[in-house]
Structure 1
Amino acid sequence: MNPKVSIIILNWNGWKNLTDTCLKSLEKLTYPNYNVIVVDNGSTDGSQDLIKEKFPYVTLIENGKNLGFARGMNVGIKHALKNEVDYVFVLNNDMAIISRNLLEELVKTANSDKKIGIVVPKVMDYGDPSKVQFNGKIKHLSGFTMEVSGCGFLAKKEVLEDVGLYDPIFFMYYEGLDLFFRVKKKGYRIVFVPSVKIKHKGFGTSNQFSFHHQYYHIRNNFLFLKRYYPKKMLFIVKGVSRNLLRSIRDCLRCYLNRNLKGLLSSIRGTIKGLLDGIILVLNTKNFMEGEHEEYWHI
């Protein structure tokens, strides 16, 4: 019998042109043993009723409020793991499936080696599916390279039970990178499968020029680098500086486009993210050892 796969999608006011398109694309999958779980983070756009109406086979979990990406996804993953699933496929709602045999190939690769913990497909551009977004390596803003894209990946049940889920301290952004680093620190492999593809819009329900987008990118950059590079202050400064340059670029873009609201939000988010990041790093002891494990361990 084919291993059971649960596809987990988080929704927050993302029905139009995101979650609906993502769910429709799943209908092309040919894998015989999978189910779909959508976790709703307190949407106010009617997403819940529309999902129930258009996709009655989907298991809908309603959190009632916005728990953030990390904690919200954990609700769905924990639900799946309690229902005897073998694999969890985490998928952002701004994604769509290209390859019909996606799950067959990912599961086959994952089954080929006990040390494989996570398997990742090739990620293409949503507007131009011939253009590659992720092809096995990501050169991150912080200066390091990672072999996995967090917008869509397959993870083994036993690996998640061993390593833990997303750490909610990140809320949104860097939670995936943190999970992947923990997977590798435990000795598991992360494998890229280029023969199957998904496509990615980018930004989803987050606004590139919003306060929260700038804030969590800057703040979480500090937290992530402090956890994994606690003694390399020059590396931390270099990594955060790159993110600051990105924020300055976004502010300049808002100014040139006369987007006053976006400009003010971006400036506020950048400054507060910088200040909170410094404070949290200075005040957080034993962060590398997982001070917040009680929130994300199963």
Structure 2
Amino acid sequence: QLMGACIMARRKTLEETGLLDEQYFMYYEEVDLCYRIKKAGWKIYFTPEAEIIHYAKQSSKQADVDMLVERNKSLYRFFKKHYGRLSVYTLRAILFIGMLVEISRTLVSLTKGAGKRIDIHWLKTDPEIYIRSLFF
């Protein structure tokens, strides 16, 4: 996946496929753009020799839970836009099952005394993120 911090594209490509979709808030807009570019038959290149300075997470570091909710909403929006509403329900179910598995693993570890080595903060935040991002 290309990072939105540094993307170059031909004008003709963007005229044909459109710019970044403003419906996305901070996440998945570059994934959506690259998907549309690739679908239109254009090639996407990654140039590891290019160097830029990007101060990661400067926009999102203030409110991690809120940003993760927005990330999930953008993920759902991407799937709905490109794969249909049913794909969003499937994705939500997969993420929900994954969350339950992680919570179960953490709870088992806690009962075995490994709680001191586990960051249990996400036991509260993961369900909150999941629930808050259900509706968009």
Query: Residues 184-243 of structure 1, C-alpha deviation per residue, up to 9 Å, x if partnerless?
Result: 111110012222223444212212753420211111111111222225568634764598
Whole-Å separation in 2 of the counterparts to 1:270 and 1:222 = 12
**TM-score, structure 2 as length reference:** 0.65
Write the mapping of 1:95-134 to structure 2, written as runs, cut at 5 A.
Answer: none
Residue 188 of structure 1 corresponds to 42
Among 266, 271, 278, the residue aligned to 2:131: 271
User: Are residue 179 (structure 1) and residue 33 (structure 2) matched?
Assistant: yes
Residue 166 of structure 1 corresponds to 20
Write the mapping of 1:21-170 to structure 2, written as runs, cut at 5 A.
Answer: 146=1, 148-170=2-24
Whether the aligned pair in 2 keeps the contact of 1:163 and 1:186 (CA below 8 Å) is yes
Whether the aligned pair in 1 keeps the contact of 2:13 and 2:37 (CA below 8 Å) is yes
Query: Residues 50-82 of structure 1, C-alpha deviation per residue, up to 9 Å, x if partnerless?
Result: xxxxxxxxxxxxxxxxxxxxxxxxxxxxxxxxx
Whole-Å separation in 2 of the counterparts to 1:209 and 1:244 = 21
Report the CA distance shift for 1:235/1:193 in structure 2 as closer, same or farther (over 3 A).
farther
Report the CA distance shift for 1:218/1:181 in structure 2 as closer, same or farther (over 3 A).
same
Superposed CA RMSD in Å reads 3.5
Report the CA distance shift for 1:174/1:208 in structure 2 as closer, same or farther (over 3 A).
farther
Whole-Å separation in 2 of the counterparts to 1:223 and 1:153 = 22
Residue 198 of structure 1 corresponds to 52
Shift of residue 267, structure 1, vs aligned partner: 5.7
Report the CA distance shift for 1:199/1:158 in structure 2 as closer, same or farther (over 3 A).
same
Whole-Å separation in 2 of the counterparts to 1:223 and 1:236 = 11
Task: For structure 2, list consecutive stretches of 5 or more residues without a partner in the other structure.
Answer: 107-117
Which SS does the other structure have where 2:77 is aligned?
helix
Shift of residue 253, structure 1, vs aligned partner: 4.2
Q: Which amino acid counterpart does residue 271 of structure 1 have in structure 2?
A: I
Report the CA distance shift for 1:182/1:153 in structure 2 as closer, same or farther (over 3 A).
same
Whole-Å separation in 1 of the counterparts to 2:12 and 2:22 = 20
Whole-Å separation in 2 of the counterparts to 1:242 and 1:209 = 25
Which SS does the other structure have where 1:198 is aligned?
coil
Report the CA distance shift for 1:149/1:241 in structure 2 as closer, same or farther (over 3 A).
farther
Report the CA distance shift for 1:160/1:233 in structure 2 as closer, same or farther (over 3 A).
closer
Whole-Å separation in 2 of the counterparts to 1:243 and 1:206 = 24
Structure with the higher fraction of residues in helix conformation: 2
Equivalenced residue count is 119
**TM-score, structure 1 as length reference:** 0.33
Among 66, 75, 80, the residue aligned to 1:226: 80
Whole-Å separation in 2 of the counterparts to 1:199 and 1:239 = 35
Structure with the higher fraction of residues in strand conformation: 1
Whether the aligned pair in 1 keeps the contact of 2:32 and 2:78 (CA below 8 Å) is yes
Whether the aligned pair in 2 keeps the contact of 1:173 and 1:217 (CA below 8 Å) is yes
Whether the aligned pair in 1 keeps the contact of 2:17 and 2:36 (CA below 8 Å) is yes
Higher RCO structure, 1 or 2 (CA under 8 Å, sep 6+): 2
- Percent identity reads 27
